[in-house]
Chain A
Amino acid sequence: MCGHCGCGQPELEHEHVHADGTRHSHPHHHDHEHSHATTIVELNTRILAKNDALAARNRAWFAGREILAINLVSAPGAGKTTLLERTIRDLDGQTNIGVLEGDQATALDGDRIRAAGAPVVQVNTGTGCHLEADQVARGLNELRPPARSIVMIENVGNLVCPAMFDLGERAKVVLLSVTEGDDKPLKYPHMFRAASLMLLNKIDLLAHVDFDVERALACAREVNPDMSVLRLSARTGEGMTAWYEWLQREARAASEAAFV
């Protein structure tokens, strides 16, 4: 068998058919007796053009309804769902929150959000490691969030892939928990660079872990000097007020931006 392409022909004789129907054979690493007439097509197309166009459509959809959309990202287990549960319970009666819950599989997180009292649509990505803009559009179609509400998009737990895919959100919020490494912003710079706010979660556990808060903040500043940072514990509620104030500010800004 030919060792180059596995075509089943002897090593020196390789037969193939051209698009114009010409059949010929020749050894590999040959000069062609006829030329493959080819032509160059200039494209200069962004690979993410389709996702970005759908994200822009989502963004306009949110703006038209004065909805604040947040893309919540972190490694698995950093506390995204716990943060949302407490936020929903604490802001009950003040703010309408709807959730798009992204996970590879199961409706477990969606059930937790529903139990906390918010409408939720579970988006299972299957083998997908991140949410894409069209999944968010389909989720919104089902969620039907009211005007001037907040839509929390809980992305798949993953600090790599979700950084690349714009969903149409106003801001990415990244959670870093103190049970992770304090050098994580340096190890996953794309995600921390893409985020507007970092929530340092699980600070109630600081006494029990080796996490160096100052080092984590320095690492975060190094990759993204413009990122705000809040320290909190979604479990005990410590520091959550500042997060709610941030959300209210962003909601007002989203509302004002709708009229530009």
Chain B
Amino acid sequence: MHELALTQEIVAIACKAASGQRVHVITLEVGRLSCVSPEALEFCFDVVAQGTLAEGARLDIRRTDGDELHVMTLEIEEAA
């Protein structure tokens, strides 16, 4: 279940980049040759994100043809 380790990385990357703001959407690129199951990422995400700035965020997973595994963008709440 390497998706659990990957999800922990995704949440860590997102929370660091969010600079204290709530994260609404995390857009990922997951290639078909990447050996990663988007369903397993979704499954792990809710648990891993609990108690973090990314709790309740939506994963927007875009499939690509290569072996890409990227966090592309974050949609975060604007600083007040």
Contact = CB atoms under 8 A, between A and B. Distances in A.
Contacts of A37: 77-78
Interface string B2-40: 100110011011000110011010001000011110000
Nearest to A18: B77
Contacts of B69: 46-48
Contacts of A43: 13, 17, 70-74
Contact of A44 (B10, B18, B21, B72): B72
B72 A38 contact: no
Contacts of B12: 50
Interface residues of B, number: 29
Contacts of A51: 9
A38 B70 CA distance: 21
Contacts, number: 80
Task: State which size class the interface on A falls in.
Answer: 20 to 34
B70 A50 contact: no
B74 A164 contact: no
A129 B17 CA distance: 28
B70 A129 contact: no
B71 A36 contact: no
Contact of B73 (A19, A42, A160, A190): A42
Interface of A: 19-20, 36-51, 128-130, 132, 160-161, 163-165, 190
